[in-house]
Amino acid sequence: MDATAWHWHNATDQEFHRVSTISLEHRAHVIVLGNEKGGSGKSTAAMHVIVGLLRDGYQVGAIDLDARQATLSNYLVSRAKYAESHHMHLPQPRTLSVHRVDNDSRSVAETAERTAFEAAISELSRDCDVIVIDCPGSDTFLSRLGHSYADTLITPINDSFVDFAMLAKVDPDKLDVIHPSVYSEMVWQARKQRFSRDRGKFDWIVMRNRLGATIARNRRDVGTTLEALAKRIGFRTLTGFGERVIFRELYLQGLTLMDLRDASLGISLSMSHVAARAEVRALLSAIRLPAPRFTLTSPPAAIGKLL
Ligand SMILES: Nc1ncnc2c1ncn2[C@@H]1O[C@H](COP(=O)(O)OP(=O)(O)OP(=O)(O)O)[C@@H](O)[C@H]1O
Ligand SMILES: [Mg+2]
């Protein structure tokens, strides 16, 4: 019996626990973008987080759990095509999609989806520091599973009580939170699943999106009610992205404002771009990430021209 086999053969429960904890530490940090409310900005935020982290020198993996709509996958395909057709270097994540399985038996479909999802996580964990998962704007088995793997959950919400309804039921007169609603309940279940699987906890950030598109009073009321709910069900709030054309106008090219300083794009930075960049940076710094792994190639951020 060789030394390693002897070690495993004679390991106490405590040692096994230590070894399994160590192997968990090697799993990539998982960032999930989720909200059952459609159109709240999950894919937009996912793309900006991915490109921001790539430019900070992280090895990033991306999983699109909304393979039917495929906003994130298409965005990334366009990015690769743009880089190729313009003969330029654009940092790219490793991308995998996990598809919904159609089967008469729900348990057969869910087992197949779980197997594909876990294979994607372990495949990307091999060489990625961070995995960004974009969820659909609906309640699906894959979305629940994705949430239960989060280290950081980011929930963008548009600044309105229509979006707020997915998080909590609110008293229309006093604007008090009456009780948490469907999406908050789902996150609670995902937290329990995560804890029972590996004793892990996740950090939940609710990010307000498209600020500026609503009137000031509504914005203030949503903000106050959100802070009250944050304390009650355990999330942090972030003043997220403003309503800005730059967050959507580069979609067809597969680019983001984090690519703008790349000289070959020929787009000059406006004040709005600078403000948008600060919003993305605030989101990135709110995510409690480990330092990027050492890479032999210099991160693009070090080249100088890039954001
Ligand atoms: N901060 C912003 N400023 C301007 N437009 C935005 C902003 N955030 C998102 N959008 C736009 O809002 C729309 C919905 O955004 P996105 O596709 O990211 O939402 P989603 O939550 O992923 O939607 P779904 O639930 O359908 O997957 C898109 O047209 C997007 O370009
Ligand atoms: Mg989406």
Atom of ligand 1 nearest to the CA of 45: 18
Output the pTM of the full model: 0.88
Strands 177-180 and 203-209, by their bridges, are unpaired
- Condensed to tens digits (0 to 9), the pLDDT of residues 278-304 reads 999 999 999 999 877 755 444 444 333
How many independent structural domains does the chain possess?
A: 1
User: What is the pLDDT at residue 122?
Assistant: 95
- Condensed to tens digits (0 to 9), the pLDDT of residues 36-58 reads 999 999 999 999 999 999 999 99
Domain assignment of residue 126, yes or no:
yes
How far, in Å, are 31, 109, 208, 256 from residue 60 at the CA level? 10, 28, 24, 16
Residue 34 CB–ligand 1 contact under 6 Å: no
Distance 25 CA to ligand 2 centre (A): 29
Overall size of the chain counted in residues = 307
Q: Is 239 buried (19+), middle (13-18) or exposed (0-12) by CB count in 10 A?
A: middle
pLDDT band at 176 (very low <50, low <70, confident <90, very high): confident
Closest C-alpha residue for ligand 1 atom 9: 41
Closest C-alpha residue for ligand 1 atom 23: 39
Distance 156 CA to ligand 1 centre (A): 9
Distance 64 CA to ligand 2 centre (A): 9
Distance 36 CA to ligand 2 centre (A): 10
CB–CB of 71/170 below 8 Å?
no
Domain assignment of residue 138, yes or no:
yes
Range of the domain at 241: 36-303
CB–CB of 172/205 below 8 Å?
no
CB–CB of 137/42 below 8 Å?
yes
CB–CB of 281/51 below 8 Å?
no
**How far apart (Å, rounded) are the C-alpha atoms in residues 177 and 194?**
26
Domain assignment of residue 23, yes or no:
no
| Structure tokens belonging to residue 177 | 């939170």
| Structure tokens belonging to residue 65 | 């759990």
CA 11 to chain centre: 37
- Answer whether residue 12 shows pLDDT above 50: no
Domain assignment of residue 21, yes or no:
no
In 3D, which of 284, 287, 217, 279 has the Cα closest to residue 242? Answer: 279
Q: What are phi and psi of 285, to 5 degrees?
A: -75, -15
End-to-end CA distance of the chain: 54
Residue 43 CB–ligand 1 contact under 6 Å: yes
Domain assignment of residue 24, yes or no:
no
Residue 93 CB–ligand 1 contact under 6 Å: no
Atom of ligand 1 nearest to the CA of 245: 4
User: Which helix (H) or strand (E) segment is 84 a member of?
Assistant: helix 71-85
Q: Is 112 buried (19+), middle (13-18) or exposed (0-12) by CB count in 10 A?
A: middle
Domain assignment of residue 14, yes or no:
no
CATH number at residue 155: 3.40.50.300
- In this predicted model, which residue has the larger pLDDT, 66 or 304? 66
Domain assignment of residue 143, yes or no:
yes
- Answer whether residue 1 shows pLDDT above 50: no
How far, in Å, are 43, 49, 249, 263 from residue 87 at the CA level? 26, 24, 21, 13
Domain assignment of residue 25, yes or no:
no
Q: What percentage of the chain has pLDDT greater than the value 70?
A: 85
Give the mean pLDDT of 75-90.
94
Average model confidence (pLDDT) for the chain?
87
Least distant ligand from the CA of 38 = 1
| Structure tokens belonging to residue 92 | 């790219």
The b/e string for 135-158 (b: 16+ C-beta within 10 A; e otherwise) is bbbeebbbbbbbbbbbbbbbbbbb
Mutate to test the pocket of ligand 1, among 35, 43, 44 (most ligand atoms within 8 A of CB): 44
- Name 60's bridge partners: 130
Mutate to test the pocket of ligand 1, among 37, 43, 183 (most ligand atoms within 8 A of CB): 43
In 3D, which of 267, 39, 260, 48 has the Cα closest to residue 156? Answer: 39
Strands (E), 65-184: 94-97, 130-134, 152-158, 168-170, 177-180
